[in-house]
Structure 1
Amino acid sequence: MIASLTGTVATVRLNSAVLDVNGVGYLVHATPNTLMSLRTGEKATLATQMVVREDSMTLYGFKDADEREVFEIVTTVSGVGPRLALAMLAAHSADTIRSAVNSQDVNVLTRVPGIGPKVAQRILLELQGKMHAPVTIADVGGPAPEAVTDERAQVIEALVSLGWSVKAAEDAVAVVLKDRGETVVVATAVPATLRGALKVLGGQHG
């Protein structure tokens, strides 16, 4: 199994990236949040999971081993393939998924595109007891959470890296926020905001 890759980022796409490792380009599928952390021409390391099927070998990349672990566990559920598991990590953090499983929260999972109530219930049932509870700040006696910060710059930077101008990116993010009735992009909403902005920009080109 290819557990990780370290190389130069050759290409960043909407749902994948190519890492040049000693002259070999590896196509890695990943979440928008992970892809946003990559910069073309710069060195990067991704935790990876290779899914082998009769007709294909596909690499999935993650920002760390923690995300990969959740991906691996989720794909043990009957009927849940790599793409749906990746969609879960695109919509929620690894800890949010763990919390949902431990609290058997159907609503969290049904926010993921492609997961309805019945599928969510099956996932929660099959994963019960398989995921440890996430560690919180209170558990380790850490400081109180910081105030909410606006992470729209992350989304704008990602859109610019995909080929749009700063102005177009800013306008698209503004449209998404207006539609939601929000004024800031919180950290957990970065992936969803990026997807919304891409839809806005795609509609302009259509």
Structure 2
Amino acid sequence: MIYALTGTIRKLPLPNIGVDIAGVTYLTSVPHPVWDAMTDGEQSTLVVFTFVREDRLELFGFRTPDERSLFTELLNISGIGPKIALELCSIPMTMLRRAAETDDSASLTAIKGIGRKTAEKLLVDLKSLFEKHPEWTSKSADNTQERSASFDVDAIAALSSLGYDQHTILGALKRLPTTLKKTEERVAAALRSL
């Protein structure tokens, strides 16, 4: 099993990046925030999870072991495959925890492939995961404030209901000025940019 990849980053269409190591490029799928943070040609290390199926081998890359742990725990939930788990990992852990604590299934149904029933079951599973791993959110709480505008779950749900995919939504919200505090303002500004 591969624990981490260190090499030169090649940005590919979202959610993929290539990691060049000694002349071999490893195709790696990453969460949206990781993809955004990467620069073509930079040297970087990704903690990876190797997903093996009958017909393929896939690599999923993360910034920290905790992010990879969340991904692997999500894969253990019935009905959650690697694509949905990767989408869930694009949402900061503190936001996922808040959704679980407040039974906010709407923020989860904004993700393509998650319906109402799956979201309700997922909330229960997320609650137990965050109780089992309290360190996940304590470590990531520091940078959540600065990123909260781009991960406004109500804005994501509103834009998703209009037919936009999560990657487009997150990109639009990330580009918004930090002076926009209300969800309505963020949605209106995001719609103007889409």
**Is the shorter-chain TM-score for this pair beyond 0.5, marking a shared fold?**
yes
TM-score normalised by structure 2 residue count: 0.67
Q: Does residue 135 of structure 1 match 2:138?
A: yes
Instruction: Write the letter of the residue equivalent to 1:49.
Output: F
1:95-141 deviation per Cα after TM superposition (whole angstroms, max 9, x unaligned): 32233335543233223222122011121234442323422899xxx
Q: How many residues align?
A: 160
For 1:68 and 1:111, locate their aligned partners in 2 and report how far apart those are by CA, in whole Å: 22
Give the structure with higher Rg (CA).
1
Range with greater deviation from structure 2 (126-135 or 37-46):
126-135
CA contact (8 A) 2:87 2:111 kept: yes
Where in structure 2 are the equivalents of 1:1-206 lying within 5 Å? 1-90=1-90, 92-131=91-130, 132-133=133-134, 134-135=137-138, 184=177, 200=194
Q: Structure 2: give runs of 5+ residues left out of the alignment.
A: 151-167
Closer, same or farther in 2 for the Cα pair 1:79/1:40, shift >3 Å? Answer: same
CA contact (8 A) 2:15 2:35 kept: yes
Displacement of 1:26 after TM fit?
0.3
Instruction: Write the letter of the residue equivalent to 2:98.
Output: S
1:138-166 deviation per Cα after TM superposition (whole angstroms, max 9, x unaligned): 9xxx9xx9788988xxxxxxxxxxxxxxx
For 1:148 and 1:9, locate their aligned partners in 2 and report how far apart those are by CA, in whole Å: 23
2:162 maps to none
Instruction: Write the letter of the residue equivalent to 1:65.
Output: P
For 2:9 and 2:34, locate their aligned partners in 1 and report how far apart those are by CA, in whole Å: 13
For 1:137 and 1:28, locate their aligned partners in 2 and report how far apart those are by CA, in whole Å: 23
For 1:3 and 1:122, locate their aligned partners in 2 and report how far apart those are by CA, in whole Å: 30
Q: Secondary structure at the match of 2:8?
A: strand
Closer, same or farther in 2 for the Cα pair 1:4/1:96, shift >3 Å? Answer: same
Displacement of 1:46 after TM fit?
0.8
Closer, same or farther in 2 for the Cα pair 1:23/1:74, shift >3 Å? Answer: same
Displacement of 1:22 after TM fit?
1.8
CA contact (8 A) 2:29 2:60 kept: yes
For 2:99 and 2:76, locate their aligned partners in 1 and report how far apart those are by CA, in whole Å: 17
Higher helix share: 2
Q: Structure 1: give runs of 5+ residues left out of the alignment.
A: 152-171, 201-206
For 1:46 and 1:112, locate their aligned partners in 2 and report how far apart those are by CA, in whole Å: 24
2:164 maps to none
